[in-house]
Amino acid sequence: MIFSGYADLIQESREKGEELWHYILLADANEKGISEEESMEMMNHLWEAMKMASDNYDGTRKSASGLSGGNGAKMKAYKEKCISGEFIGEVIAEAISMGESNACMRRIVAAPTAGSCGVLPAVLIPYCRKYQVPDQKVIEALYLTAGMGGVIATRASIAGAEGGCQAEIGSASAMAAAALVYLAGGTLEQTADAAALALKGLLGLVCDPIAGLVEVPCVKRNVIGAVNAITAVDMVMAGVTSFVPVDQVIDAMGEIGRNMLPMYRETGEGGLAATPAARKVKQQDFRKA
């Protein structure tokens, strides 16, 4: 969806007397040429697919490269002992599990991309489990994430190849933060502020996948995106605001992405991908295995 700005979305929805999530739903239905009910069904299908991907995680699987697999299961077993508390332990486990499922070619929901597929479910699933959030409310929150994602894609980018990892994990973190504020009963302004804080925290993050695979550092960066979103939400719900409005943060992210050297934009040639440890992986011909 093409949206010029999140502040505009809030204002337009209020002018039309619509709740923001429903205003975005109408835009989605209009863009796809479908009914409101069909749009809701599609969003519900995405939520169900996310939960199913979580339920179907298999900790015994390894990716073809051998770089990914099993850490989600380790985190699940450890979560009660987490220094950051059991809830964050669940969030970490969920984020890693989803990232590993993607690396193992299992079914996941790209949100907004496959590389960042673990952030949104890692924030939503443990929260909804803990607070027994009805599916309808989650679907409403998902429309806010779609709106936020649409704004980011319009004003900047959601692709690592264009804007670095800030555009993938950063965007996912901002989208998840907006959704979680909504579920936590915050205002629309607070959804904007939480997204701004989340994205600000990840500005400049480069895309440097080892051997060009969406595995290292991608899988564990989903954890950072998820936990970053939750801390942004907690700050906002406590009354903290973002000095820079979210639309301007998105513009800054776009500017940084445009000025990022190509070696930091998914080419697998810079950053972590250029370390000796990464070069060893690159020399392996595991793709033929």
| Candidates 57-65, 80-88, 205-213, 275-283; binding stretch for ligand SF4 (CB under 6 A) | 205-213
Backbone phi, psi, residue 249, to 5°: -65, -40
- Does 210 participate in binding ligand SF4 (rule CB under 6 A)? no
> Which lies closer to ligand SF4 via its Cβ, residue 240 or residue 261?
261
Tell me which of 5, 89, 209, 257 binds ligand SF4, using CB under 6 A: 209
Report the C-alpha gap between 159 and 171 in whole angstroms: 9
20 vs 108, beta carbon nearer ligand SF4? 108
Does position 115 interact with ligand SF4 (CB under 6 A)? The reply is yes
Q: Taking CB under 6 A as the rule, does residue 226 contact ligand SF4? A: no
Q: Which is nearer to ligand SF4, 72 or 186 (CB)?
A: 72
147 or 257: whose CB is closer to ligand SF4? Answer: 257
Listed residue (171, 190, 182) closest to 133, CA to CA: 182
Question: What does the per-residue mask of binding to ligand SF4 show for 118-157, with x meaning CB under 6 A?
Answer: ----------------------------------------
Structure tokens at 196: 């701004």
CB of 177 to ligand SF4, least distance (A): 18
The residue among 126 and 217 lying less far from ligand SF4, judged by its C-beta, is 217
For the bound state, the minimum distance from the C-beta of residue 218 to ligand SF4, rounded and expressed in Å, comes to 3
Site for ligand SF4 in 156-195 (CB under 6 A): 160, 165, 168-169
In the complex, the smallest distance separating the C-beta of residue 136 from ligand SF4, rounded to whole angstroms, is 31
Give the residues lining the site for ligand SF4 (CB under 6 A): 115-116, 160, 165, 168-169, 207-209, 214, 217-218, 221, 266
